[in-house]
């Protein structure tokens, strides 16, 4: 679908893609709230357009009105909850914005061809409804956006991620050889705006929770950034355990995205304030870029501390040799 600019009223021009992105972020944020009171005018206000132009832009991009888009997503969430949770139909109906059990049952039957009670008897059903935009509810509380184009042939990127995860594990193991004073000694070189007031322990911790943070974002789970700094002492065994879990899951995610050609597919990160839309490829590029800076600092710091057997900081041989 080609998305272009369009008149926005009062002599202005709106970027339709930008408006749709903001609209999707608002809808996604509402999925995380127990009671989302926004109506059509409220949604239009969130993206700073009149109700008329808002309805026109979203209708043109999504192929359905903002009301129909949001109602469909809420029905998809309701269908998912009916399949996966022992929740009362009335509670699901209220959460989906219906004032009564009967109104919800009628709408659900029109959409899925059966009543909610019949639907939940079969746990293997697909809850996606037909959607011109390709945007669907993504459990547990997010939205799945389609890729603008099919992206394959990213094997080198996958190998770089595997190298990053492998090298982080190696760095943690080298950290286990050092005493606390060396682990927490300041590394004089720092980059303002990325990391400052750093130590070996601090950088190891950042490498691990960067994986944990983006996994939580993709899976739409809450994430609290861990306390980092001179006053926080994270034991190396804890970092080893956390990385063994998060690293393996991050590599599995990137491999899945590569196999399915989904690097250009978007997701809504509702852990941001306000929620933001990212592509999976952009997320992976972000992780590798900032992790490379931290890994390089760590390799140098370990060398200064007398650990010189870590010679795999450059991914060139790792990627070429398939280690």
* Span 271-318, pLDDT tens digits: 677 778 888 888 898 898 888 888 888 888 888 888 888 765 567 767
- CA 251/CA 257 separation, integer angstroms: 10
pLDDT number for residue 129: 92
Percent of the chain with pLDDT over 70: 80
pLDDT tier, 12 (very low <50, low <70, confident <90, very high otherwise): very low
**Average pLDDT in the chain:** 81
220: left (phi over 0), alpha (psi -120 to 50) or beta: left
Residue 137's pLDDT is 86
> Which residues touch 142 (CB under 8 Å, ≥6 apart)?
28, 31, 220, 267, 268, 270
pLDDT over threshold 90, residue 242: yes
pTM of the complete model beyond 0.75 = no
Query: How many CA atoms within 13 Å lie on the side-chain side of 199?
Result: 19
Q: CA-CA distance, 9 to 251, in Å (whole number)?
A: 47
* Residues 175, 183 contacting (CB under 8 angstroms): yes
Residue 254 vs residue 310, higher pLDDT: 254
Tell me what pLDDT residue 108 has: 95
140-170: pLDDT as tens digits: 778 888 766 555 555 667 878 888 898 899 9
Spatial separation of the C-alpha atoms in residues 165 and 171, rounded to whole Å? 10
**Which residues are CB-contacts of 309 (< 8 A; sequence separation ≥ 6)?**
none
Looking at the predicted structure, is the pLDDT value of residue 123 above 70?
no
| pLDDT score recorded for residue 261 | 84
Residue 10: band (very low, low, confident or very high) from pLDDT cuts 50, 70, 90 = very low
| CA-to-CA separations, 21 to 16, 62, 268, in angstroms, rounded | 9, 11, 9
Residue 264 is predicted with a pLDDT of 84
Average pLDDT value for residue range 80-96: 90
The pLDDT of residue 173 is: 93
d(C-alpha 204, C-alpha 213), whole Å: 14
**What 8-state DSSP symbol labels residue 140?**
T
Q: Could you say which DSSP state residue 272 is in?
A: S
For residue 88, the model assigns a pLDDT of: 92
Distance (Å) of CA 134 to CA 25, 26, 95, 131, 258: 15, 17, 23, 5, 20
CA 111 to chain centroid, in Å, comes to 28
Tokens of 130: 């037909």
pLDDT for the residue numbered 243: 95
Using a pLDDT cut of 90, give the percent of the chain over it: 27
Does the pLDDT value for residue 124 go beyond 70?
no
Per DSSP, 219 falls in state: T
Closest of 47, 59, 249, 262 to residue 144, by C-alpha: 262
Q: How confident is residue 7, by pLDDT bands cut at 50, 70 and 90?
A: very low
Q: Output 323 or 49, whichever has higher pLDDT.
A: 49
Average of per-residue pLDDT across 110-131: 86
**Helix 101-112 crosses helix 66-84 at what angle (to 10 degrees)?**
90
Cα–Cα distance measured from residue 248 to residue 255, given in angstroms and rounded to the nearest whole number: 11
Residues 93 and 103: their CA atoms lie apart, in Å, by 8
Average of per-residue pLDDT across 117-129: 83
What gap in Å lies between CA 169 and CA 250, rounded to an integer? 13
């Amino acid at each position: 679908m080609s998305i272009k600019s369009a008149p926005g009223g009062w002599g202005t021009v709106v970027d339709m893609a930008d408006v749709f992105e903001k609209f999707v972020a608002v809808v996604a944020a509402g999925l995380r709230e127990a009671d989302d009171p926004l109506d059509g005018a409220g949604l239009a206000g969130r993206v700073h357009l009149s109700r008329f132009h808002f309805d026109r832009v979203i209708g043109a991009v999504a192929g359905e009105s903002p009301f129909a888009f949001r109602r469909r997503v809420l029905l998809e969430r309701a269908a998912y909850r009916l399949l996966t949770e022992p929740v009362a139909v009335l509670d699901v109906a209220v959460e989906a914005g219906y004032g009564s059990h009967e109104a919800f049952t009628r709408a659900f039957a029109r959409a899925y061809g059966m009543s909610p009670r019949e639907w939940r008897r079969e746990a293997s059903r697909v809850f996606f409804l037909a959607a011109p935009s390709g945007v669907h509810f993504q459990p547990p509380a997010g939205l799945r956006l389609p890729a603008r184009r099919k992206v394959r042939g990213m094997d080198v990127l996958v190998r770089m991620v595997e190298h990053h995860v492998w090298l982080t594990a190696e760095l943690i193991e080298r950290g286990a050889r050092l005493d606390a004073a060396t682990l927490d000694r300041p590394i004089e070189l720092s980059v303002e705006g990325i990391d400052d007031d750093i130590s070996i322990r601090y950088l190891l911790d950042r490498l691990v929770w960067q994986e944990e943070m983006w996994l939580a974002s993709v899976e739409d789970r809450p994430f609290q950034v861990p306390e980092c700094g001179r006053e926080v002492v994270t034991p190396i065994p804890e970092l080893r355990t956390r990385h063994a879990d998060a690293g393996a899951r991050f590599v599995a995610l990137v491999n899945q995205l590569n196999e399915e050609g989904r690097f250009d597919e978007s997701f809504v990160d509702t852990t941001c304030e306000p929620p933001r839309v990212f592509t999976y490829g952009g997320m992976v590029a972000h992780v590798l870029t900032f992790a490379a800076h931290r890994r390089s600092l760590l390799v140098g710091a370990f060398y200064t501390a007398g650990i010189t057997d870590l010679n795999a900081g450059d991914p060139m041989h790792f990627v070429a040799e398939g280690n």
